[in-house]
């Protein structure tokens, strides 16, 4: 009887610790998203500390599962499969070493992988919406809610099917893990299109790590007296080690000469995408802050200047809007004076003049860009860049089907070009998140 009470107190302590950890994570992400966008990017964007934390939690699940298999746990078949799954997930998350050692992707991956990385899952999923991705997401959501919430509730209520599954190899997750599974499922739905999928992956990784830890401790302590605080302390230790590991790898990526620029570029890509996301929700102050940060490293980027100008117009600062947009025009005119028929410059001038309401000037430069790009693909059909820019012109006038055809030709000619491949892929499907 004393032993049962001890186990019950241990489960209660673990539940309390798990709940505190979950609430802390939820509060942290909300605070970062609403107040500290730069830190939210670090916490949710790929190859940055948040994603490395996921990797270490999946690695912890892998290690715990292998220990249970080695000790011939009654659920060893389930944990053997879980170990294989986590091995695959960890390998895929780091692109099988590519993100640590920065080796180039073979041409096959550059051509067919949606993110041009050495992994398998991005053949089906990536920055574009695909039907395999939707099917996987729906299946994952149903599985998370079913296994993490419905299954333990049914087992507790004495449901025969749930009890049969528990007796024949499917471990029952503790109910204190249900917030992780259910919130992970909700984040997979992407209600806000704010990188919630990365939060989902973190919560799922933590739930699986804690599930494995729960059954490992049950086996180790079977028939023995144990301190009721031990499960909670073990959970805190797993969190600490995972965070420490993620921080160490992130620091290494930032310091290593071969990875520093790649990491910095990831941060800049995150800043640009999140600036668009904050704009979508009308948070122009945060969007402007992110564009300002980007302009430190790209002060002559006319597209960034136009977006920043638009933020100031939305904030009601017409003077700042005119000043920044004029700067973009000046930079374009410097290029225009050297080459009047450069397609990229004329397209940029079209956008700048269009934004300020100078429709006549805007149309002049769009017509010039269209004419020049059309001539170039006829006169220089061996140059992939000509097809790319003709596709951009067609996109500008709303001919999406024609643009896709031009991007496809550019990609066929230079399958290793990330710019061409991404332009083609994104023209086929709507972007998941702008």
Asked, for residue 423, whether it belongs to a domain, the answer is yes
Kindly state the percentage of the chain with pLDDT values over 90: 66
Pair 192, 310 in one domain = no
Pair 246, 307 in one domain = no
Q: How many domains does the chain have?
A: 2
Asked, for residue 312, whether it belongs to a domain, the answer is yes
What are the residues facing 128 on neighbouring strands? Answer: 431
Pair 32, 177 in one domain = yes
pLDDT at 110 over 70: no
The average confidence (pLDDT) of the chain is 87
Asked, for residue 434, whether it belongs to a domain, the answer is no
Nearest to 288 by CA among 270, 263, 306, 265: 306
Asked, for residue 284, whether it belongs to a domain, the answer is no
Nearest to 13 by CA among 160, 230, 324, 172: 230
Asked, for residue 327, whether it belongs to a domain, the answer is yes
Asked, for residue 386, whether it belongs to a domain, the answer is yes
Pair 315, 387 in one domain = yes
Structural domain harbouring 370: 297-428
Q: Give the pLDDT score at 222.
A: 66
pLDDT tens-digit map of 284-295: 999 999 999 999
Pair 239, 349 in one domain = no
Q: How confident is the model at residue 339 (pLDDT cuts 50, 70, 90)?
A: confident
pLDDT at 127 over 60: no
Asked, for residue 85, whether it belongs to a domain, the answer is yes
pLDDT at 10 over 70: no
Q: What CATH code is carried by the domain that includes residue 405? A: 1.25.40.10
d(CA 171, CA 79): 9
pLDDT tens-digit map of 247-279: 999 999 899 888 888 889 889 989 999 999 999
Helix axes 2-35, 178-189, angle to 10 degrees: 30
């Amino acid at each position: 009887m004393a032993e049962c009470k001890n186990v019950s107190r241990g489960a209660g302590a673990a539940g309390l610790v798990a709940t505190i950890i979950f609430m802390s994570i939820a509060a942290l992400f909300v605070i970062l998203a609403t107040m500290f966008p730069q830190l939210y990017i670090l916490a949710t964007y790929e190859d940055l500390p948040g994603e490395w934390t996921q990797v270490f939690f999946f690695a912890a699940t892998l290690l715990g599962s292998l220990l249970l298999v080695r000790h011939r746990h009654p659920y060893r078949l389930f944990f053997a499969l879980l170990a294989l799954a986590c091995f695959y997930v960890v390998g895929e998350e780091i692109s099988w070493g590519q993100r640590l050692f920065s080796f180039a992707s073979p041409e096959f991956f550059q051509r067919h992988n949606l993110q041009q990385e050495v992994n398998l899952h991005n053949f089906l999923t990536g920055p574009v919406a695909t039907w395999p991705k939707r099917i996987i997401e729906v299946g994952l959501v149903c599985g998370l809610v079913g296994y993490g919430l419905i299954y333990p509730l049914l087992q507790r209520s004495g449901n025969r099917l749930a009890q049969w599954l528990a007796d024949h190899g499917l471990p029952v997750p503790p109910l204190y893990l249900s917030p992780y599974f259910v919130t992970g499922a909700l984040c997979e739905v992407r209600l806000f299109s704010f990188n919630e999928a990365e939060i989902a992956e973190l919560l799922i990784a933590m739930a699986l790590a804690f599930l494995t830890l729960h059954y490992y401790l049950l086996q180790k302590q079977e028939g023995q007296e144990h301190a009721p605080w031990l499960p909670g302390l073990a959970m805190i230790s797993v969190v600490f080690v995972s965070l420490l590991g993620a921080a160490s790898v992130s620091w290494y990526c930032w310091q290593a000469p071969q990875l520093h620029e790649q990491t910095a570029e990831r941060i800049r890509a995150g800043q640009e995408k999140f600036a668009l996301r904050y704009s979508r929700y009308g948070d122009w102050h945060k969007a402007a802050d992110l564009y300002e940060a980007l302009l430190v490293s790209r002060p002559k980027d006319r597209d960034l200047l136009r977006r920043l100008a638009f933020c100031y117009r939305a904030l009601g600062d017409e003077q700042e809007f005119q000043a920044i947009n004029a700067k973009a025009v000046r930079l374009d005119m410097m290029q225009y004076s050297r080459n009047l028929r450069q397609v990229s410059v004329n397209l940029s001038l079209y956008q700048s003049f269009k934004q300020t309401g100078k429709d006549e000037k805007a149309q002049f430069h769009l017509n010039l860009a269209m004419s020049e790009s059309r001539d170039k693909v006829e006169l220089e059909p061996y140059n992939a860049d000509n097809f790319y820019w003709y596709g951009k012109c067609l996109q500008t006038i709303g001919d999406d089907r024609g643009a896709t055809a031009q991007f496809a030709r550019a990609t066929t000619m230079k399958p290793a070009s990330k710019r061409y491949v991404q332009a083609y892929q994104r023209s086929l499907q709507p972007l998941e998140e702008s």
